[in-house]
Chains A and B, each alone.
Chain A
Amino acid sequence: MVPAPPAIASLTRPTENLFTYYVLRALATLPALPITLPLLYFRHHTMRYEFSPEGIRMSWGVLFRHEIVLNYARIQDIHLRSNAIERWLGLARIEIQTASGSSSAEMVLEGIPDPAAMRDFLYDRMRGASTPTADPNASLAAILHEIAAEMRALRLALTPEGPPLHPHG
């Protein structure tokens, strides 16, 4: 497994802009502000990311703790979403789907400094993204195979009752 690039592997906390967005979101729920603001405050301040060579670990919460671990190879589709307010703050959500039963995203990465670069990194690690559809060495393999066949024919022509192919096991 190739380790994640340093810019991504060193990422553990969401940006401060995410908290600004959370404050705006809490303000939108005007009457419920005293409840939503502390909730979102703790969500932002306990949110931790860990990008390992195999997958992502994300955790948040104080009283109700959440922790999600998923492997890059299990990602089904990636959605990069943002509304106008998020774009004003330079934010975007990366919603990651795995093949589990829920219809909502299994993991939503918020407050990533460069969302597009993160999306491209995840895409690179997804099944079927980096594995080319055809082996680039396919033609080389075919040529080698042909040379081997020629050698075999040569050997058989020299010693029709020669030793088996693998005399040394």
Chain B
Amino acid sequence: MVNAIEQLLLGWLRVPPEPAPPEGAPGSLLLFRAGRNYWRWRLLCWAGAQAALLLLVLLPLLALLLRRPHPLLAGLTTLLLLLYPLQALFTYFAQRLDYRLRWYIVTDRSLRIRAGLWSVSETTMTFANIQDLRITAGPLQGALGLADLEVSSAGGSVSKEPGASPTHLARFAGIDNAEALRDLLLARLKHYRDSGLGDRPETAPLTAEAAARELLAETRALRAALYPKTSS
């Protein structure tokens, strides 16, 4: 039943299927989801917000209704009370789908994060552009074994206003392998000696072409050494 409603909603909102991974070396692809406890964490946050709403808005409204106010005010209050279970249901589904519609992809060169239900966002960032990594976890998240890993690229600060989509930032929210992922990203970052700003990454210290030229010079020198007269 719940799944059927969700499928209907996903079709209605035209939510695209699972994201395609960015180009990278085969075998380096790592696709994972938020930790299982992330769903419990979202549920706890939702329950907390609902409890606060109940205490701060609903109970005062009920108290108002019991005092038998003007019929117009009473009607308005009843309407608000009836809206409460509706919004609770709506936000519950929003939490569920936020957990389900979340993909994290890491290849040897880049990362991609897909999230969102109404507004779908797919962020792609190459490791060559990464500036810093940051792990944050609140006490509740810590108890659930979760953490957020934030990866920043160079540029303007993240807008603090609510609802603004973060830019210059890729956020692995609620993952249960933050430390391991950080180590993996750091290991892959090491391949870029000029990670962050700068020009294109330098080529490897010894290219095949340079080695071939060295071999050519050495062969010529050998011939010159063996037959000095034929050397041109």
Residues of A that sit less than 8 Å from B by CB = 73, 75-84, 87-88, 95, 97-105, 116, 119-120, 123-124, 126-135, 137-138, 140-145, 147-148, 151-152, 154-155, 158-159, 162-168
Contact = CB atoms under 8 A, between A and B. Distances in A.
Interface string B151-183: 001111111000011011010000000000000
Interface residues of B, number: 64
A116 B20 contact: yes
Nearest to B215: A148
A127 to B, nearest CB: 5
Contacts of A168: 220, 231-232
Given A131-B201, A137-B208, A142-B206, A151 B168 contact: no
B123 A131 contact: no
Given A141-B206, A148-B214, 10 more contacts: A76-B153, A77-B168, A84-B12, A101-B155, A103-B159, A127-B128, A128-B127, A128-B192, A129-B128, A166-B217
A155 B167 contact: no
B2 interface: no
B230 interface: no
A128 B110 contact: yes
13 contacts: A77-B168, A78-B125, A80-B123, A103-B157, A104-B159, A133-B25, A137-B207, A144-B214, A155-B218, A162-B225, A165-B217, A166-B217, A168-B220
B200 A76 contact: no
B14 interface: yes
Q: Closest 7 CB pairs between A and B?
A: A128-B128, A144-B211, A128-B126, A137-B208, A135-B204, A87-B14, A133-B191
Nearest to A154: B222
Contact of A158 (B122, B129, B208, B225): B225
Given A131-B200, A145-B206, A77 B167 contact: yes
A126 B221 contact: no
Contacts of A84: 12-14, 118-119
A123 B124 contact: yes
B156 A100 contact: yes
A77 B128 contact: no
A129 B123 contact: no
A163 B221 contact: yes
A79 B115 CA distance: 11
Q: Which of B159, B215, B231 has the most CB of A within 10 A?
A: B215
A152 B216 CA distance: 11
Nearest to A78: B124
B129 A81 contact: no
A101 B167 CA distance: 11
Given A87-B14, A131-B128, A104 B167 contact: yes
Contacts of B126: 123, 126-129
Given A147-B215, A151-B215, A128 B201 contact: yes
A145 B214 contact: yes
Contact of B110 (A81, A123, A159): A123
B224 interface: yes
A43 B13 CA distance: 27
Contacts of A163: 221, 224-225, 228
B226 interface: yes
B78 interface: no
Given A128-B128, A155-B221, A167-B231, A77 B170 contact: yes
